[in-house]
Amino acid sequence: MTDKPYIVKILWGQDKHQDNLEKYEFATQQELDAFCLGVYESNGWMDYEFLAAKDDLNDYDVTDNFFSGEVA
């Protein structure tokens, strides 16, 4: 038995090809739910970028990167 009992399998891509089947395992239902929400919210987007948090989106700066260090 696995220590991560919450499992979801996702068939990625429009073609639903068996090669695109991925299995994800989580320790809690909350982790699984958060992952599934992220998958649901990203559906339809072809790309992504992690960005620093901003109080005002009007101050958005494409040079700020989530992994570059300090987060605003």
* pLDDT of 49: 72
**48 vs 45, more confident:** 45
Give the strand pairing for 21-26 and 6-11. Answer: antiparallel
Position 69 in a domain: no
Q: What pTM was estimated for this model as a whole?
A: 0.62
- Collapse the DSSP code of 59 into the 3-class scheme (helix H, G, I; strand E, B; otherwise coil) and give the result: helix
Say which amino acid occupies 28.
Answer: T
* Structural domain for 18, as ranges: 6-59
Count of domains in the chain?
A: 1
Position 1 in a domain: no
Position 55 in a domain: yes
Position 15 in a domain: yes
Whether residue 65 has pLDDT greater than 70: no
Position 71 in a domain: no
Position 72 in a domain: no
Tens digit of pLDDT for each residue in 18-46?
A: 898 999 999 999 999 999 999 999 988 87
Position 46 in a domain: yes
Position 26 in a domain: yes
Encode 17-58 in three state secondary structure: CHHHEEEEEECCHHHHHHHHHHHHHHCCCCCCCCCCCCCCHH
